[in-house]
């Protein structure tokens, strides 16, 4: 470790300065965001939202279309009046993650994998987020990562998933220390990082980060999170390049008004692959209070997924899933094209042809 990297409180390494600055300069004021994208409060249906405040980094704002209240990137981050609606069936913790907590900062739902809440904050606040009501304060990690006790104690754990919040909110030195602690646990073979940071602040992919992940004995998978092709501009694709030496995957959420068309989903898969990323999961949105207006039903989800299958090679079709508490894995909703019935003439013809 270099001298500058020793303490979490020291000045950032030189290549960390740009992303730290982008983080600090994120837009948090609704009127400023609306001015930047040239959309009025009325057009956008915008509303201030205190419990989960607006936060969006400027490199992400730069990819929004000016004057378009329906821009798919804007819609992901803009608080609207619709969030105040109380919709039956939508709850603060629909995934019952409270019940999955193994220890402070450690969730265990599936065999062989433990998910660590490595950081409580995110660079961007996504309005549809299933963890928007999550009590991060109860899961804060101290200096020596107490959550890892739960990993050490369970020899069945082969993979540690760093999630959050966003684990790449940690500075490189702290992340390197965490990876070092994990690789000392003999039974752990794989390290997975779930992060949206390389998408919203491409400068987060520093040489220091890539070096840390390249040096560990653990097999590494990086799972980024993009929902629309417009999120992957040139800077973002360039940042993803050095991560393609690891298993580099993407998960998306199917969101009404953002990516709920076959065209948008197909474009996203193709743009991801151009940037070296394979689609992994397409999640049906969870029933989280305040997010009902993003909802896409199961039937529509299956229909869109079939259209993707008809238009793309299999490796560019993400698995359509939903999270159902109590199941041993995420619930797979992908249908075989053969089971298509009605309304999908294009698909049927393609099968005959």
Interface with ligand SF4 (CB under 6 A): 122, 124-126, 129, 131, 164-166, 196, 225
- Euclidean distance between CA atoms 105 and 147, whole angstroms: 6
Q: For residue 229, which of 68, 80, 65 has the smallest C-alpha distance?
A: 65
**Which is closer to ligand PLP, CB of 56 or CB of 95?**
95
Shortest spacing between CB 114 and ligand PLP, in angstroms = 7
Q: Determine the length of the chain.
A: 353
Stretch (H or E) spanning 248 = strand 247-253
Q: Which is nearer to ligand SF4, 109 or 196 (CB)?
A: 196
Q: How far is the CB of 304 from ligand SF4 (least distance, A)?
A: 20
Asked if 283 is part of the footprint of ligand PLP (rule: CB under 6 A), the reply reads no
| Cis peptide preceding 112, ω within 30 of 0 | no
Return d(Cα 208, Cα 24) in angstroms, integer: 20
- The CA distance from 55 to 193, in Å, is 22
Site string for ligand PLP, 82-121 (x = CB under 6 A): ------------------x------x-xx--x-x------
The encoded tokens of residue 95 equal 């995934």
Give the shortest CB-321-to-ligand PLP separation in angstroms: 8
Residues between 317 and 336 with contacts to ligand PLP, criterion CB under 6 A? 329-330
In the complex with ligand PLP, the residue whose CB is nearer, 109 or 225, is 109
**Binding letters toward ligand PLP, positions 147-186, x by CB under 6 A:** --------------x-------------------------
- Could you tell me the smallest distance in angstroms from the CB atom of residue 112 to ligand PLP? 9
d(CA 187, CA 158): 6
Considering CB distances under 5 to 8 angstroms, the limit depending on partner class, which of ligand PLP, ligand SF4, none binds residue 116?
none
- H/E stretch holding 194 reads strand 190-195
Label residues 77-92 b or e (16+ Cβ within 10 Å = b). Answer: bbbbeebeeeeeebee
Read off the tokens for 300.
Answer: 């529509």
| Residue with Cβ nearer ligand SF4 (125 or 302) | 125
| Smaller CB separation from ligand SF4, 171 or 225 | 225
Comparison of 35 and 99: residue with beta carbon closer to ligand PLP: 99
Kindly state whether residue 225 participates in binding ligand PLP, applying the rule CB under 6 A: no
- Tokens representing residue 19 in the block: 């992303």
The sheet that has 247-253: what strands, in order across it?
A: 101-103, 106-107, 113-117, 159-163, 190-195, 219-225, 247-253, 278-283, 319-322, 331-332
Q: State the nearest-atom distance from the C-beta of 187 to ligand PLP, in Å.
A: 17
Q: Which does 113 bind (CB under 5 to 8 A by kind): ligand SF4, ligand PLP, none?
A: ligand PLP
Judged by beta carbon distances under 5 to 8 A according to partner kind, the member of ligand PLP, ligand SF4, none in contact with residue 52 is none
Distances (CA, A) of 304 to 24, 194, 308, 331: 38, 25, 6, 17
Nearest-approach distance from CB 306 to ligand SF4, in angstroms: 26
Q: Which is nearer to ligand SF4, 139 or 196 (CB)?
A: 196
Binding stretches for ligand PLP (CB under 6 A) = 100, 107, 109-110, 113, 115, 161, 329-330
């Amino acid at each position: 470790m270099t001298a500058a990297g020793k303490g979490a409180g020291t000045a950032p390494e030189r290549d960390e300065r740009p992303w730290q600055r982008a983080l600090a300069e994120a837009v948090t004021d609704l009127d400023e965001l609306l001015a930047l994208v040239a959309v009025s409060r009325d057009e956008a249906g915008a509303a201030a939202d205190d419990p989960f405040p607006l936060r969006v980094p400027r490199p992400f704002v730069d990819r929004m279309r000016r004057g378009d209240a329906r821009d798919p990137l804007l819609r992901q981050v803009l608080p609207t009046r619709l969030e105040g609606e109380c919709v039956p069936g939508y709850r603060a913790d629909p995934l019952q993650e409270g019940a999955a907590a193994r220890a402070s900062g450690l969730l265990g739902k599936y065999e062989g994998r433990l998910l660590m809440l490595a950081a409580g904050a995110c660079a961007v606040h996504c309005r549809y987020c299933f963890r928007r009501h999550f009590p991060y304060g109860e899961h804060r990690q101290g200096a020596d990562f107490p959550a890892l006790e739960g990993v050490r104690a369970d020899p069945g754990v082969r993979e540690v998933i760093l999630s959050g919040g966003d684990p790449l909110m940690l500075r490189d030195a702290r992340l390197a220390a965490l990876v070092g602690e994990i690789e000392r646990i003999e039974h752990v073979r794989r390290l997975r990082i779930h992060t949206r940071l390389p998408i919203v602040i491409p400068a987060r992919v520093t040489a220091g980060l890539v070096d840390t992940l390249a040096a560990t004995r653990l097999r590494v998978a990086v799972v980024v999170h993009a929902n629309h092709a417009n999120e992957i501009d040139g800077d973002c694709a360039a940042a993803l390049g050095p991560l393609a030496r690891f298993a580099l995957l993407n998960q998306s959420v199917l969101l009404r008004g953002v990516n709920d068309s076959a065209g948008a989903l197909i474009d996203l898969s193709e743009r991801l692959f151009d940037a070296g990323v394979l689609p992994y999961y397409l999640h049906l949105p969870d029933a989280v209070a305040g997010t009902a207006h993003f909802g896409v039903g199961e039937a529509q989800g299956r229909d869109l997924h079939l259209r993707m299958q008809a238009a793309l090679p299999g490796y560019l079709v993400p698995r359509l899933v939903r999270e159902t508490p109590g199941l041993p894995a995420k619930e797979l909703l992908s249908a075989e094209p053969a089971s298509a019935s009605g309304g999908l003439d294009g698909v049927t013809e393609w099968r005959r042809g």
